[in-house]
Amino acid sequence: MKYRSTRGGMAPQAFSDILLEGLAPDGGLAVPESVPTVSAETLESWRGLSYAELATEVLSLFIDDISRADLARLTHAAYSAEVFGSEAIVPLKPLGGGVSLLGLSEGPTLAFKDMAMQFLGQVFEYVLARRGATLNILGATSGDTGSAAEYALRGKRGVSVFMLSPHGRMSDFQRAQMYTLQDANIHNIAVHGVFDECQDIVKALAGDLDFKSRHHIGAVNSINWARIAAQIVYYFWGWLRATSGPGQEVSFAVPSGNFGNILAGHFARQMGLPVRRLVLATNENNVLEEFFRTGVYRPRSAAQTHATSSPSMDISRASNFERFVFDLLGQDADRVRACWQSLAEKGEFDLSELRPQFEARYGFVAGVSTHEDRLRTIRAVRDDTGVLIDPHTADGVKVAAPYVEDGVPMLVLETALPAKFSDTIREATGLPAPLPEALRDLGKLPQRVTVMDCDVAQVRDYIVRHADDAQG
Ligand SMILES: *Cc1c(COP(=O)(O)O)cnc(C)c1O
């Protein structure tokens, strides 16, 4: 299995070679040269597997430069009951009426990003050790991705994490979650500024190629192929749990932002998993819903991007979308390049002539959920079933509703637990969301964070002093 770029300008590379890179050298994204298929018999033979065993089967189809025995070791370390709270790892939670939640948020940061990050942490450590290399991950976070990366990489050999966050602008819970980590290889840097300013510092440093190569600076962003590959596993898991025999169809509803989660669903479907529909849910930032409705992709500016009560879906452009467009355009890199040329020149591209294929060929439908929808859905699900869902998952439940069909289980991906977004839960129900037992005392633990001015030079200096200093 080799990987190529969506823009056609990269020599084929193995999984471990693209693992540590961001964009392909031609500005495109890495995709498999061909999509592996899974027969109905093979699928049936997977019914009895544990989550980690299933992950070994699915990931080995995409990773052929790590031995099967080693891959099994990595997946068992990533998907253990200690990390995910139970042997199920991903529980299916029925809501009634043919709808179930696929519980992707049982990991340490209570959101689905743990599913991919926990594997990424294991495979980063493995590949770096094999190469005798080290990596210093530099990132900015407003909460979700940064904490998932820190929990996945804490204590890992060969990797340090430098995570910038806006000082005083995260919730108490988010701060406690990140800043209580005491591992020597985790560096929390709180910057006097807003998230965009943190992001600007990261861009400035990552754009300094001399600094970047001298200090082995890397990233764990949402376009990382290993994250997508790890996410494909839970579509198979969900299908196996919701069906009892070959060929039965299941639909998935996916609260979406950067198109990473649902892209994994697209791959699972292309591999032969019997998926009827992939229901894409957006919040008020409906760039993707607009595309699936009209065929026109028109990213927004920062000023046109709303701050909503499902904040992890507040995106202006969808960083993984190019991988789907590549398939839509018959894997023609010239046409992909032309689309992104049009984006650069006109701020949009138009694929409305392909609109009939979106659902008929790829199973995609889309819808929008607003703040009012979110509150109403959280209340209705609690009243009907006693289950409390988070605002992002509520967007999924709301948009899924018109696509629920008799005999086709609808699995809504639970992308976070309500405890993470307690203010909105209180607004919807009058009561805050209860914290999971294991996290009740988090607020009392000592915090470890370095506060800095919003200044590239100060951050650079800190990294130079601390890079590679925890490579035990
Ligand atoms: C990241 C995130 C999303 C969006 O996922 P994408 O892969 O960016 O589409 C949705 N919900 C939550 C809670 C998230 O953290």
Atom of ligand 1 nearest to the CA of 258: 8
State the helix-helix crossing angle for 456-466 and 195-206, rounded to 10 degrees: 60
Q: Which residues contact 49 (CB under 8 A, 6 or more apart)?
A: 57
Low-confidence stretches of the chain (pLDDT < 50) are: 472
Ligand 1 site, residue 111, Cβ cutoff 6 A? yes
416 lines ligand 1 (CB under 6 A): yes
Q: Where are the alpha helices (DSSP H) in 225-259?
A: 225-242
Question: Which one from 113, 156, 398, 420 is the annotated catalytic residue?
Answer: 113
Secondary structure tally for the chain: helices H, strands E = 20, 15
* Ranges assigned E (strand) in 57-125: 92-96, 99-103
- The residues with which 48 forms a beta bridge, in sequence order, are none
pLDDT of residue 469: 65
Q: Tell me the two tokens of residue 114.
A: 């743990």
pLDDT at 142: 77
Pocket probe for ligand 1: among 151, 225, 258, the residue whose CB has the most ligand atoms within 8 Å is 258
The fold adopted by the segment(s) 92-110+231-429 is Rossmann fold (3.40.50)
Decide if 191 contacts 454 (C-beta within 8 A).
Answer: yes
Cα–Cα distance, 343 to 349 (Å, whole number): 6
Annotated active-site residue 420? The verdict is: no
Q: Report whether residue 255 contacts ligand 1, using a CB cutoff of 6 Å.
A: yes
Using the atom order of ligand 1, give the atom closest to the CA of residue 231. 7
pTM of the model: 0.96
Instruction: Tell me, using a 6 A CB cutoff, whether residue 113 lines ligand 1.
Output: yes
How confident is the model at residue 98, as a pLDDT?
Answer: 96
Res 472: pLDDT: 47
Query: Which pLDDT belongs to residue 125?
Result: 96
pLDDT at 234: 98
List Cβ neighbours of 361 (8 Å cut-off, separation of 6 or more): none
Q: For residue 5, which phi and psi values (nearest 5 degrees)?
A: -95, 145
Tens digit of pLDDT for each residue in 290-349?
999 999 999 998 788 888 999 889 888 898 999 999 999 999 999 999 999 999 999 999
Closest CA to 334 of 4, 9, 3: 9
